[in-house]
Each structure stands twice: as structure tokens, then as C-alpha cells.
Structure 1
Amino acid sequence: MSHNSSPSASAQLCYENVTGSCVKTPYSPGPRLILYTVFAFGAVLAVFGNLLVMISILHFKQLHSPTNFLIASLACADFLVGVTVMPFSMVRSVESCWYFGRSFCAFHSCCDVAFCYSSLFHLCFISIDRYIAVTDPLVYPTKFTVSVSGICIGVSWVLPLAYSGTVFYTGVNDDGLEELSSALNCIGGCQLVINQFWIWIDFLLFFTPTCVMIILYSSIFLVARKQAKKIENINSKVEELSGTYKIRVAKRERKAAKTLGITVVAFLISWLPYMIDSLIDSFLGFVTPSYVYEIFCWFSYYNSALNPLIYALFYPWFRRAIKLIITGQVIKDSSSTINLFSKLA
């Protein structure tokens, strides 16, 4: 993050006639309209896309499963990013000023960090769920139950909220960097400084679950390849009924693992640039230009809008659920028991 230079006589300020105001660097009308359109589209997609995911899973009883409850909770985290983070970041990014006060700046940053780690923890637990489902599909229902899923959801919310609240509301994030924090945060700015200790904690909190997911999904795809080869070698005329059931279950679990694996890859691609830049920037004195920082931020924010698109692309049941919701058929008394898979190939 770059330092704010002293305002010149002709410079625009975030707050005119206010001593210590940040310098405003507005875009021209054309780029400004484009940026607002792109950012607003991401926020709207994050809000309504994830709302559709939550309504689909919670309304239709056929979708009530441990994995889907985790997906609904993940959608809730992405939905909250679209509600509490993206709209205000949109104004900050385009106007280059923060007009919402210092208190809300801390709250905004707290939500930003908390929901990021909540998404990450959800994805990590989902990868564990998929690993068990693919490697041992017949025993899986007794290992990963709804109650286990509930515990995972609780951990995925409580730990990130406790961590971000502790860091941003106790002031430990800028211990030893008070002078730099004061210099960076003029009136109309929202750039919370995080010292190297907490940057390292962030780094570990991000990459430890990331490594777990990479290892588990690598194992999943190795197992899936072995299962595919076994299926090819089975003579359909002599296979037993139990064997047929195992094949069907294995295929279903591999498909779900593949889709959720794509979700994980999308998350990593979206967040890695921001996390790596934050780590490097803390050792270089926060020299990343503000526009580069904003690009990395929005790259990560847009991840919250990607997941519903991934589900719509790979889950036929989600597309049918969206149709039922949009056409208003969910208000019927019997709508919760509709078979979303009956018309699927």
C-alpha cells in the first residue's frame, strides 16, 4: 500500500477543508462507470447467487445431506462478503476514499478477513468429506454424519470470527508500526496495517488448510483413476448387484469431488495473489501501489461470486432448483419434497 502524498494546491481531497484529508485520485467518467459496473455485478452475483444456493439446499429436503449443509454454510460466507464487504470496497476502489468512518473501517476489515478464512475452513472440511466419500463410499454415511457436519460448520465460523475480532479490535495488528499506520491512514483512508508477526500467522492460517486440501484432492484423483480402471475391467454380465451399487456410488462421489475440487482451485487462484503480496509487502514497508492492491482485493472478492456459477455449470439439480425458485413454485406446500433428480440424465 502506497503512502499518501501531501496535497498540492490543485489536488482534490476526500474531505475538502479538512486538515489531514487523503488526496483523492478519481477516475474519468468512462473508466469510473466501467469499474462501478464490474464491481457492482460481482456484488450482485455474490449476493443473489449464493442466496439461491442457500435457499435450494435448505428448502428441498432431497438436498439435505452433510456435504450440502457445508456448501450452504460456505454460500452464507460468500453471501456476507457480497453484503458487508464488496459494496463498500467498491466505493473505496473507485473513489479512492473511505467515506464510512474509522469504526466501520475496522468492522469492514474484520468481516473481510473472517469470511475469507470461514470460506477456506469450509472448503478444507469439504475436502475431508469428499476424501472419505471417495475412498470409502459405503462406510462414509456412518463417518460423516449431519452432526459431524454441524461441528465442522461451527468451527468454520467461530475460529475465523474470533481471530479477526481479536486482531482488529485489540489493536495488536499494528504493534510496532504505529507511526507507519498513522502516516498511511489520513482522513478518508481505510488501510489497516498488519505487522510481520500477524502476517506470518495469516500466512500459516491460509496455507495450512490449503496444503491439506491439495494433498486430499490429489489422493482423491489418484483413487478415482484406480476406480475407473477397475470399473473398465469388470465384466457387466457377471458383476453382482452389490458390485453394481459400489460402482454407481463411486461414480457419484467422484463427480462431486471433481466439482468441489474445481471450487477449491478457483478459491486458490483468486486468493493466492493477495496473500503472497501481503506477505511480501509486510517486509518491504507496504510499497505496493494502491491500484495493484485493489486489483488483488477484487480478484479475491470475485471468488464469492464464482461458486454459484460453478454449481450452476456442473450441478443439474441446482439449475432445476433455480428454475423452481424463480418461477415461484417453491411457495407450494409440497415443493420441498420435489425430486430434483427425477428428470436428470
Structure 2
Amino acid sequence: MTSNFSQPVLQLCYENLNGSCIKTPYSPGPQVILYAVFGFGTVLAVLGNLLVMTSVLYFKQLHSPTNFLIASLACADFLVGVTVMPFSMVRSVESCWYFGAKFCTFHTCCDAAFCYSSLFHLCCISIDRYIAVTDPLIYPFKFTVSVSGICICISWILPLVYSGAVFYTGVYDDGLENLVSALNCVGGCQIVVNQYWVLIDFLLFFIPTLVMVILYSKIFVVAKQQAIKIETSMGSSETESSSESYKARVARRERKAAKTLGATVVAFLISWLPYTIDTLIDAFMGFITPAYIYEICGWCAYYNSAMNPLIYALFYPWFRKAIKLILSGEILKGSSSTISVFSE
């Protein structure tokens, strides 16, 4: 009598190679949906941040210390969309790594470096906004283009050096040799980080985040006080001196910019906190997080690189106008870099 039950066929990432990882692919329907969702985020991260960089660097009216920081932040997010998200998309959907062990290390290094670069940029922007809101008239003399350039250099050099040193020396998995050996197979790119380096990673995330939260809390307190003071002074006197009127306009503009960039910080925290907390807990609980939870947290973090251009488009009229000029081909005309992109 022949049995009607058959053993499930075990799929491998590389069918003809010994030591290949086991492949656990999704069925065709979910595969298409996941590729569409991840692919959309990747395209948005690349094209959206490319538009941000082009807008700030091309239009001379946008050349300011804050906007240079924004353009550099967009560069970090753009590189996430180019060097990290497409390959993570294939790994997440196919459950296999087809790009080689060396590129796995490079991919992981880029992932960490650009994340920390984004975080350091946001921290510098929060300092910039704090000075701008608390002392708007002195701000242009305190936070110059040179200071912005120093912040940009620090926000790139430190993450790149740190990530390169950790992942190319192999110190991240010291003490986990047995686990790494058990997970090691052809077609895998699963980086396991020991408790020591996970704790350092968490502190590198937590300290700049704490600085941002404190500064933006102070910013909104000062902004509220300024708004009340301006309303009171305008209500108590019929006329307002030109210097007071200018100070009020500057303060109002800086508060608006602080709110927009505060939304960027909130989006970053919402995107990255689940992944950061999960990584910390997982390292101290024996790496028990299910693969799908890890993937969800990871892609929430990746999607942050696609969110910033949407925030700018929502809050910045100059960015919307710059996009129209770029997409319509106006920037191909002579002297278009001097076009006014501000509505006021």
C-alpha cells in the first residue's frame, strides 16, 4: 500500500553546495507583496534623498549651515537606500544571502555606519536649532558654515571609523565562537554581536538621543515663551519698532524650522527604538528573537531613510517648489540656481 503522505522537500540556498543554508521562502503572493513594500521604500529613500541633496546644493538661496546639515543627513539616508536596502530586501524575502561573505561584512558595516551618521547629524541639527531659537539674532555668528562643516565631518568620520574597526577586525563576536560556528553556512549573512559591543552600540544610540530630547524639550519651552511674549508686546502697544518686528519674524521662522526638524527626530526615534531595544534585549537573553520580529524591526529602521524627504515635503514649501523646478527641467536653464524658492 502506497502512502499518500510525502515528506516536505528541504530547500537550500545553494542546491549543489555542501554546507548551504536552508531556504525558507515565502509563497508567491506574500513574496510579491514584500518585494513591492520593500522596493517602494528603497526607491523612495534613493530618489527622495537625491532630491533633497540636489535642492540644497543647487539653489544658492538654500545655502545655509542648517540646510548643509540636512543635505549631509540626506546623503547618509541616500547611501542606506543604495548600499543596504536592496540587498537586505533580497535577504529578507528569499531568506538567503547571494552576494558573498565579503560583501556581507561590507553591507553590515555600511548599515551601522550610516545609521550612526544619521543619528549624529540629527544631534548636530538639534544643537543648531537650540542656538537658533534661544538666541536668533546671535545665531548667524555662532553657527556658521565652518561650524556646520565641522559637524558634518564628525558625523561621517566617527561612524565610519567605529563601524569599520568593529566589523573588519571581528571583535564583535568574541566569546560567541560556538554560536557563530553553528550559524555559519553558505548563503547566510547573520551577524551576531556579543553583549559588550551591543551595550556600546546602545550607549552610542542612547546618549545622542538623550541630548536631542533634552534640547528639543528646551526648544519648545523657549518657543512657547517667545510666542507669549510677542503676543503680549503686540497687544499692549499700537506700534512695534522695526527691530522688534524683525526679531519677532526671525524667532517665528526659527521656531517653525525647529518644529519641522523636531518631527524628523521623532520619526527617527520611532523607527529605530524597536530595533535598538530588541537588539539589546536579544543579546542578553540568548538571541531568542524570532526571525520575523527581527525583520520587522529592521525594516522599520530602514524605512526611516525614506521618511525624511516626506517630512520635508510636508512642512517645507521651499522643498516642494524645488522639486517642481527639478522635475520640470527648469534647473537646466541658465542662472536657474538663483531662482527664489521661498514663498515669502
What's the TM-score, normalizing by structure 2? Answer: 0.96
Aligned partners of 1:300, 1:20: CA distance in 2, in Å?
A: 31
Aligned partners of 2:257, 2:146: CA distance in 1, in Å?
A: 21
How far the C-alpha of 1:183 sits from its partner, in A, is: 1.2
Provide the residue aligned with 2:60 in structure 1: 61
Provide the residue aligned with 1:209 in structure 2: 208
AA of the residue aligned to 1:307: N
Aligned partners of 2:182, 2:290: CA distance in 1, in Å?
A: 15
AA of the residue aligned to 2:332: I
How far the C-alpha of 1:109 sits from its partner, in A, is: 0.2
AA of the residue aligned to 2:230: I
Q: Deviations over 1:168-204 (max 9, x none)?
A: 0000000111111121232111011111110011010
Aligned partners of 1:290, 1:100: CA distance in 2, in Å?
A: 20
Alignment of 1:146-185 (within 5 A): 146-185=145-184
Give the gaps of 5 or more residues in structure 1: 1-7
Provide the residue aligned with 2:27 in structure 1: 28
Provide the residue aligned with 1:98 in structure 2: 97
Q: Deviations over 1:2-22 (max 9, x none)?
A: xxxxxx972101111322211
Aligned partners of 1:270, 1:180: CA distance in 2, in Å?
A: 29
Provide the residue aligned with 2:327 in structure 1: 326
Provide the residue aligned with 2:13 in structure 1: 14
AA of the residue aligned to 2:158: L
Q: Which SS does the other structure have where 1:269 is aligned?
A: helix
AA of the residue aligned to 1:190: C
**Compared CA separation, residues 13 and 98, structure 1 to 2 (3 A):** same
Provide the residue aligned with 1:310 in structure 2: 311
Q: Which SS does the other structure have where 1:302 is aligned?
A: helix
AA of the residue aligned to 2:48: G
Q: Deviations over 1:246-268 (max 9, x none)?
A: 10000000000000000000000
AA of the residue aligned to 2:122: L
Provide the residue aligned with 1:4 in structure 2: none
What's the TM-score, normalizing by structure 1? Answer: 0.96
Aligned partners of 1:83, 1:340: CA distance in 2, in Å?
A: 28
Q: Which SS does the other structure have where 2:19 is aligned?
A: coil
Provide the residue aligned with 2:243 in structure 1: 242
AA of the residue aligned to 2:135: D
* Range 137-146 or range 227-236, more displaced: 227-236
* Range 15-24 or range 120-129, more displaced: 15-24
How far the C-alpha of 1:165 sits from its partner, in A, is: 0.1
Aligned partners of 1:157, 1:332: CA distance in 2, in Å?
A: 34
AA of the residue aligned to 1:325: I
Q: Deviations over 1:48-68 (max 9, x none)?
A: 000000000000000000000
Aligned partners of 1:232, 1:191: CA distance in 2, in Å?
A: 57
Alignment of 1:66-77 (within 5 A): 66-77=65-76
AA of the residue aligned to 2:305: S
Q: Which SS does the other structure have where 1:23 is aligned?
A: coil
Aligned partners of 1:310, 1:242: CA distance in 2, in Å?
A: 33
Q: Deviations over 1:71-102 (max 9, x none)?
A: 00000000000000000000000000000011
Aligned partners of 2:300, 2:184: CA distance in 1, in Å?
A: 23
AA of the residue aligned to 1:271: W
1:79 aligned onto 2:78: yes
1:301 aligned onto 2:302: yes
Aligned partners of 1:193, 1:14: CA distance in 2, in Å?
A: 20
Q: Deviations over 1:140-192 (max 9, x none)?
A: 00000000000000000000000000000000000111111121232111011
Give the gaps of 5 or more residues in structure 2: 1-6
Q: Which SS does the other structure have where 1:234 is aligned?
A: helix
Q: Deviations over 1:221-240 (max 9, x none)?
A: 00001011011101352321
AA of the residue aligned to 2:86: P
Provide the residue aligned with 2:137 in structure 1: 138
Provide the residue aligned with 1:52 in structure 2: 51
Provide the residue aligned with 1:127 in structure 2: 126
Q: Deviations over 1:255-312 (max 9, x none)?
A: 0000000000000000000000000000111111111111111000000000000000
Q: Which SS does the other structure have where 1:124 is aligned?
A: helix
Aligned partners of 1:289, 1:187: CA distance in 2, in Å?
A: 21
Note the aligned Cα RMSD (angstroms): 1.0
- Percent of matched pairs sharing the same residue: 76
How far the C-alpha of 1:29 sits from its partner, in A, is: 0.7
Aligned partners of 1:18, 1:285: CA distance in 2, in Å?
A: 30
Aligned partners of 1:245, 1:184: CA distance in 2, in Å?
A: 63
1:270 aligned onto 2:271: yes
1:287 aligned onto 2:301: no
* Segments of 4+ moved more than 4 angstroms: none
Aligned partners of 2:321, 2:222: CA distance in 1, in Å?
A: 31
Aligned partners of 1:179, 1:126: CA distance in 2, in Å?
A: 43
AA of the residue aligned to 2:63: H
Aligned partners of 1:286, 1:98: CA distance in 2, in Å?
A: 20
